[in-house]
Amino acid sequence: MSSQVVRKTGRWRLRLHLFRCPMLTAVLRRCRGRAWVSPAVLHRGLSDEAARRRPRAPRPDPLVITERAAQRLEDLLRSRSDSLGVRIGIIRRGCNGQSYTMKYANEIAPTDEVVKQHGVTVLVDGKALMFLVGTTMDFVEDDLKAEFVFNNPNVKGMCGCGESWSF
């Protein structure tokens, strides 16, 4: 162990701290052979060790698909047997800046986020992921139209027709 660490803290304090903190013991084992361990190296080592020991929390899906939307997607995907699912993205267009895109997906891109809900696979484009977090996808059908509706809490403004939006 580092003689300067022992000198600064006192031998009994260091041993007591090592007894209480197994992460510090693991970090100092990796630093063996060094005459002195800087506080920055010690802090980085403790951070890395804590990250290794901490269980990862499950990440929620970026997109919530309602039952009606899932049923409509199933109907659409039945007609296309070669498709894995639907890819949702964002494109710059319209009078307010952004608009949603939906395309049939034949393969999963490395940047795609896969969302499987109600038996339907939806791929979220990696570029659109940060804009779609928390969005609910629904399917609405009335006398005049039938459409997918995205309820996005990140939207700050929409155009009059509702086709495009901005953050």
pLDDT at 16 over 50: no
Residues 8 and 74 occupy one common structural domain:
no
Residues 26 and 73 occupy one common structural domain:
no
Residues 119 and 160 occupy one common structural domain:
yes
Rounded to the nearest integer, the mean pLDDT of the chain is 75
Q: Domain holding 128: CATH number? A: 2.60.300.12
Confidence of residue 12 (pLDDT cuts 50, 70, 90): very low
Residues 10 and 30 occupy one common structural domain:
yes
Residues 86 and 143 occupy one common structural domain:
yes
Is the residue at 154 inside a domain?
yes
pLDDT at 70: 93
Residues 31 and 89 occupy one common structural domain:
no
Least confident of 6-10, 79-83, 137-141: 6-10
Q: How confident is the model over 97-114, as pLDDT tens digits?
A: 777 888 998 888 888 888
Residues 106 and 41 occupy one common structural domain:
no
Confidence of residue 25 (pLDDT cuts 50, 70, 90): low
Distance between CA atoms of residues 161 and 99, nearest Å: 12
Residues 75 and 114 occupy one common structural domain:
yes
Q: How does DSSP assign 13-50, residue by residue?
A: HHHHHHHH-HHHHHHHHHTTT-S---HHHHHHHHHHHH
The token duo for 163 is: 């086709």
The token duo for 126 is: 């990696």
Residues 73 and 137 occupy one common structural domain:
yes
Cα angle value 155/156/161 (rounded, 5°): 80
pLDDT at 44: 67
Distance between CA atoms of residues 92 and 100, nearest Å: 9
Is the residue at 58 inside a domain?
no
Domain enclosing residue 48, as ranges: 3-53
Residues 49 and 67 occupy one common structural domain:
no
Distance between CA atoms of residues 47 and 39, nearest Å: 12
Task: For the sheet with 157-158, list strands across it.
Answer: 113-117, 120-124, 85-92, 98-105, 165-166, 157-158
Residues 22 and 42 occupy one common structural domain:
yes
Torsion angle of C-alpha atoms 74, 79, 81, 82, degrees rounded to 10: -100
pTM above 0.85, yes or no: no
Residues 20 and 80 occupy one common structural domain:
no
How many folded domains does the chain comprise?
Answer: 2
Is the residue at 78 inside a domain?
yes
